[in-house]
A and B are shown apart, each in its own frame.
Chain A
């Protein structure tokens, strides 16, 4: 054989490579070029494909470790729908005029001079006239309320 003598450096590299290939702790850093070539040869022999069984096992691992996204996505989809629904309800209320705004505040009937005179007379002891005037004023008041809140309890 015409192999030339190995240098000390080459012997050290050869020992480290042998240890690495055997899965032992190498005494020094193994040469990367030889390790890469060995990995290429191993891949050529063992095959580059992942077995279907390993592949399915890994898929299970991935799915098991994933956070449950569906519930969050469900909420995410419901939120815009709820907002849209609320906007529609608001628009209906505004346009049907069912909500009392400042312009629809009820103006109560003002008491007339007769009622004020009857109140003055009542302070002097004549209460009969005040009762009659109050009766008439209450009727006006109830009529105004009935007109504004017609049909509502």
Chain B
């Protein structure tokens, strides 16, 4: 999976591979996986699960289910991406249901991303471009919240400092830092959502 932008494959290309993969051709299935695993992971699974390991598990489950049910797939003139996305969403929901049992904390932040993300109907995946857009938007929102909130978020999430280091740098006790971070995240969220409402470039 390349992080570079790539040209989407044609429906004819897809159909040929779907037919061959349905007949047991592993290479054809691998071609489909390499084309769609990236967007399914970045656009569907990671935002819904908020955890890379969980998103990887769900990605494998998604393609396992796709491989088993490829014979039932009917294109109806659209990309197989939509079918895969539907399977992936169901897998993400399954993982949320299992969350209590697995004791893995899962955070669904796809609603926060949705105004920023390109239309899900577009299988074309340009991960670098999408990533740049997300980072730029985070920076813009950080500038719009109180400097102290922006500082604690930058230290904890962008500079990836430990809690103790953050408390030292900000010259506060650990308990105060925790409260500061909670308030900072809430302020960021409110501003993020406000920003999305007033974004003139919003699709």
Contacts and interface: CB of A to CB of B under 8 A. Distances in A.
A binds B: yes
Interface of A: 1, 3, 6, 10-11, 13-15, 17-18, 20-22, 30-52, 54-55, 58-59, 61-63, 65-70, 73-74
B52 A66 contact: no
Interface string B178-195: 111111011011001000
Given A40-B113, A45-B160, A50-B42, A35 B105 contact: yes
B30 to A, nearest CB: 6
26 contacts: A3-B176, A6-B179, A18-B174, A18-B177, A20-B105, A21-B163, A33-B186, A36-B112, A37-B109, A37-B186, A41-B185, A44-B134, A46-B52, A48-B41, A49-B38, A49-B127, A49-B128, A50-B55, A50-B56, A55-B34, A58-B37, A59-B37, A62-B63, A62-B64, A63-B29, A70-B24
Q: Which 6 A-B pairs have the closest CB atoms?
A: A70-B24, A39-B50, A14-B178, A39-B107, A49-B127, A48-B42
Interface residues of B, number: 63
Given A40-B192, A49-B1, 17 more contacts: A13-B182, A15-B175, A18-B181, A21-B156, A32-B107, A34-B186, A37-B109, A38-B185, A47-B127, A55-B34, A55-B38, A58-B63, A59-B37, A62-B63, A62-B64, A63-B67, A66-B67
Contacts of B1: 49-52, 55
Contact of B182 (A14, A52, A55, A59): A14
Nearest to B42: A48
Contacts of A10: 179, 182
A45 B160 CA distance: 9
Interface of B: 1-3, 22-24, 26, 29-30, 33-34, 37-38, 41-42, 46-47, 50-52, 55-56, 59-60, 63-64, 67-68, 105, 107-109, 112-113, 127-128, 130-131, 134-135, 138, 148, 153, 156-158, 160, 163, 174-183, 185-186, 188-189, 192
B134 A43 contact: yes
B157 A70 contact: no
A17 B174 CA distance: 13
For the residues of B in contact with A, the DSSP-based class is helix
B107 A15 contact: no
Contacts, number: 163
A59 B30 contact: yes
Nearest to A58: B60
For the residues of A in contact with B, the DSSP-based class is helix
Contact of B46 (A15, A43, A62, A69): A43
A63 B135 CA distance: 35
Contacts of B30: 59, 63
Contacts of A73: 22-24
Contacts of B130: 48
B108 A36 contact: yes
Given A14-B175, A37-B185, A61-B60, A49 B50 contact: no
